[in-house]
Every structure is written in C-alpha cells, then in structure tokens.
Amino acid sequence: MEDWAEIRRLHRSEQMPIKAIARRLGVSKNTVKRALAADDPPKYRRAGKGSIVDAVEPQIRELLAEFPDMPATVIAERIGWARSLTVLKDRVRVLRPQYRSPDPASRTTYQPGELAQCDLWFPPTKVPVGAGQQTSPPVLVMVSGYSRWLMARMLPSRAAGDLFAGMWALLRMLGSAPKTLVWDNEGAIGQWNGGRPRLTAEANAFRGTLGIKIVQCRPGDPEAKGVVERANGYLETSFLPGRSFSGPDDFNAQLAGWLGHHANVRHHRRIECRPADRLVADRAAMVALPPVEPLVGWRTSTRLARDHYVRIASNDYSVHPSAIGRLVEVVADLEQVTVTCGGQNVAAHPRCWAVHQSITDPVHAQAAAAMRRSGLQVTRAPVDTQVEQRRLADYDALIGIEGTEGVA
C-alpha cells in the first residue's frame, strides 16, 4: 500500500513519467501502471475455498421458500445435517431474509400536544412499604411524544383506583393533558376483544372528563410505544443504580429530583435539544385540564359492620364506632383513606402500602371499648307479668283421663 501511495504521488504531484517512477522505486512499469489505474488501495484477496454448507444450500432454500421462519435446528434435522451447527446457522441467517417479507420500522414524528405514551415500570429493587414488608411497587411512566418530557411516580398497586389517580397526579403537575394517551393492554385500561379494543368503564370515565383519547396498542406490538419503553430502560440504567430507598415516599422524592435536575434538562439525541426546551410549545397545544377533577382513586359506599372496619386494597382501616349500622362513604387516593357518614368525617388514615394489614386509630379503639363497657353496665328491670293458673282437671281432660277428681 505504501508503494501504491508513493507511485500516485510521484505521478500526480511530481509529474514524473512511468519509466522514471519504475526506475526510482525499483519496480516494473506494469506495476506502476496498475497502481495508477487503481483508484482504491490494494487489498489482499484470498480465493475462497467454499463451505461445507454449499452442497446442501439448495435444500435449505427449498425449506425456507415454504417455511421462512423454520428454525435452523429444524432445518438441520430435515436435511440430515450431522456437521457443525454453527456454519449451518450462519448460512441460514444469510439466506432467510430473501424468503421472509420485510417488516421495516417507521420513524414516527409527533406534533406538539399530540400524544403521550404510558406504561408501568417495575423496578428490579425492593422498597420497604411498612409492616416489615419489602416489595417492588409499579411505577407509572408517561412520556410526551413531541418534547420527550418524562414523568413518573410510584403507585401502591396497578389496580384501576391507583392507576388513574397516578395519571391524574402527573397530568395535574404538567398543567395540561395530551390529546391522546397511548397504552398497552393493561387490565385497568382495557383489552382487545374480537379484534377491537375495549376500554374499561374507569378508562372511559377518565378520558371523558378530560376530553381526550386513549389508544390501546395491538397485542404483540411493542414498537407502537417505543418512546416509553426506552424511557423505562433509561430509568433502569441511569436512575436506579447505586440508590437505596427508605420507602415509597423517599423513592418518589428521589425520582422527582432526578427528573427535574437531570432527565428533562439533558440533551436528547433524538430531538437534538433538551426536553425542557420543547415543553412550552408542547403544553400550549395540549388540552386544558377540566374545571372539575375526574373521579379517581377508590370510591365505595357500604353499611358499616359491627367490627367498624372498611377494606381498601386488601387492608382494613378502622372507622369510629358511632357509625355502626349506618351508610358510610369511603374515598382513598394515593396518600390517604377517608370515611364520611352523613357528611361528617368518621375516619382518616394514611394510605398503607403493605398488604393484609389492619390499621386502627387509637381514638376509634377507645371509643369502641367505652361503648362495650357501657353496654355491659346496663341492667334491665324484671318484668311483672300475670300468668294464668290452669286447673289440673284441664290437663286430665286433655290426655283423656276422666273421673279423677277428688282422688288423692
């Protein structure tokens, strides 16, 4: 290669003739001519010796023409291959694209305010949730398609009550709502049935209140929400390593700080700017939040039983015993559980993230104990009732005994 470069330099720069170059470098004139005729540097090329797979390539092509997705191990069985599987797999890998229909992935562009992709990320770490329990609660992740603004929050569960409460909390922080929310087939959102997506009643109520659209991706189509899938990987590789958490509140506090000071102010390679730089235009094109908040969280009404506890997500919360037998309204969000009776507050507890727990307010326990003691101290006066005295002869007549009067 050095001679090739020098020959071309002498001829092009020094205007030296071929005979002089050959004499100066000690090579033949034909060598000089070949070097001047070649525009590319010379490369050593060894003649191919062929491969042991060449003999069976026609059989491989016949199988792939009929079954493009047939695994290489099955092809080896069909053609009776007894040699190395590695060389056979390499040849199948080269031939398969010729018989499989191409499936190109399109690069999608988004308009401001158009949509946000949503998903649940389950961090591979344990978080203390109280009562000696450690679990991996789901993290709701939401990414705007246009600005790539990333929002996330850990939730107590993936149930509809917590999921939509988390979505509303993130949208309220954003100050507006994208025109479309893209979800996969999460149970609380809906599922595909009969070739059509069907949203749950909670999802329809949520989108109706906000005036937006919820799109469910087709099953087995992860590319439809690749933006949020990449965000999940970014959280797992950039936020999580080297951190420890004392509880869900600590997790959300660290996550919020990292999002605000790192994730949303970094230079995003895909959009060639920071997400924060596009946020203003993104929010301006979104839908304004409704004046009335959507009904999210856990909401139920029940008649309070004698044990004066109500159940939310496998946990029991005490209620003041004065409401026993009356209809109570139970409302739970991501932070608190509240119970009202006749418009009066009869219970308020912080939300418990552990499972199968009984949360008792000491005031409720004391009131119940006092009511039980007062009930035991009540004594009822005896009832003075006049009872008729029947004659013995009436009983004799009843059982058929006659003429016994006067018998001792």
Q: How would you class 5 by CB atoms within 10 Å of its CB: exposed for 0-12, middle for 13-18, buried for 19 or more?
A: exposed
- For residues 119 and 242, state if they share a domain: yes
Find all residues with CB under 8 Å of 28, minimum gap 6, and list them: 22
pLDDT in tens, 284-303: 999 999 999 999 999 999 99
Separation CA 143–CA 141 (nearest Å): 7
Residue 126 covered by a domain: yes
Whether residue 10 has pLDDT greater than 60: yes
Domain of 251, CATH number, reads 3.30.420.10
Label residue 211 left, alpha or beta by phi (over 0 means left) and psi (-120 to 50 means alpha): left
Q: What is the dihedral of CA 95, 96, 101, 103, to 10 degrees?
A: -110
- For residues 263 and 120, state if they share a domain: yes
Residue 128 covered by a domain: yes
Separation CA 347–CA 323 (nearest Å): 10
Collapsing DSSP states into helix, strand and coil, what is residue 294?
coil
Taking residues 378-397, report their average pLDDT: 70
Task: Give the distance, in angstroms, between the CA of residue 79 and the centroid of all CA atoms in the same chain.
Answer: 44
Among the ranges given (128-137, 312-321, 386-395), the one the predictor scored with the smallest mean pLDDT: 386-395
Collapsing DSSP states into helix, strand and coil, what is residue 334?
coil
Pairing state between β 298-303 and 327-332: antiparallel
Whether residue 242 has pLDDT greater than 70: yes
Confidence of residue 408 (pLDDT cuts 50, 70, 90): very low
Q: How would you class 342 by CB atoms within 10 Å of its CB: exposed for 0-12, middle for 13-18, buried for 19 or more?
A: exposed
Q: Residue 58 is part of which domain span?
A: 54-98
Between 383 and 396, the more confident residue is: 396
Among the ranges given (40-49, 164-173, 329-338), the one the predictor scored with the smallest mean pLDDT: 40-49
Q: What is the DSSP string of 3-49?
A: HHHHHHHHHHTS---HHHHHHHHT--HHHHHHHHH-SS-----PPP-
Separation CA 336–CA 331 (nearest Å): 8
Give the bridge partners for 184, in sequence order: none
Residue 59 covered by a domain: yes
CA angle 331–335–340, rounded 5-degree value:
25
Residue 406 covered by a domain: no
Confidence of residue 379 (pLDDT cuts 50, 70, 90): low
- For residues 283 and 203, state if they share a domain: yes
Separation CA 224–CA 106 (nearest Å): 10
Closest CA to 182 of 207, 157, 165: 207
Separation CA 390–CA 392 (nearest Å): 7
Residue 181, amino acid? L
- For residues 327 and 181, state if they share a domain: no
Contact 198, 214 (CB under 8 A): no
Which parts of 241-353 fold into alpha helices (H)? 248-261, 275-284
Whether residue 38 has pLDDT greater than 70: yes
Contact 35, 7 (CB under 8 A): yes
| pLDDT on residue 107 | 62
| pLDDT on residue 263 | 96
Among the ranges given (146-155, 186-195, 305-314, 389-398), the one the predictor scored with the smallest mean pLDDT: 389-398
Residue 396 covered by a domain: no
| pLDDT on residue 145 | 95
Sign for the CA dihedral angle at 304, 308, 312, 317 comes to positive
- For residues 174 and 309, state if they share a domain: no
- For residues 234 and 182, state if they share a domain: yes
- For residues 165 and 212, state if they share a domain: yes
Give the bridge partners for 198, in sequence order: 191
CA angle 271–122–314, rounded 5-degree value:
140
| pLDDT on residue 6 | 82
- For residues 30 and 82, state if they share a domain: no
Among the ranges given (177-186, 234-243, 299-308, 377-386), the one the predictor scored with the smallest mean pLDDT: 377-386
Taking residues 170-183, report their average pLDDT: 96
Long-range Cβ contact pairs of 123-128 (< 8 A, separation 24 or more): 123/235, 123/236, 123/240, 124/236, 124/240, 125/240, 125/245, 127/154, 127/245, 127/247, 127/248, 127/251, 128/245, 128/246, 128/247
Sign for the CA dihedral angle at 208, 213, 219, 223 comes to negative
Q: What is the dihedral of CA 57, 61, 67, 72, to 10 degrees?
A: 20
Between 92 and 37, the more confident residue is: 92
Structure-token pair, residue 252: 């959300």
Q: What is the DSSP string of 154-191?
A: E-S-SSHHHHHHHHHHHHHHHTEE-SEEEE-S-TTTEE
Report how many domains make up the chain: 4
- For residues 309 and 336, state if they share a domain: yes
Residue 76 covered by a domain: yes
- For residues 145 and 246, state if they share a domain: yes
- For residues 18 and 59, state if they share a domain: no
Residue 80 covered by a domain: yes
- For residues 78 and 154, state if they share a domain: no
Separation CA 89–CA 322 (nearest Å): 75
Residue 186 covered by a domain: yes
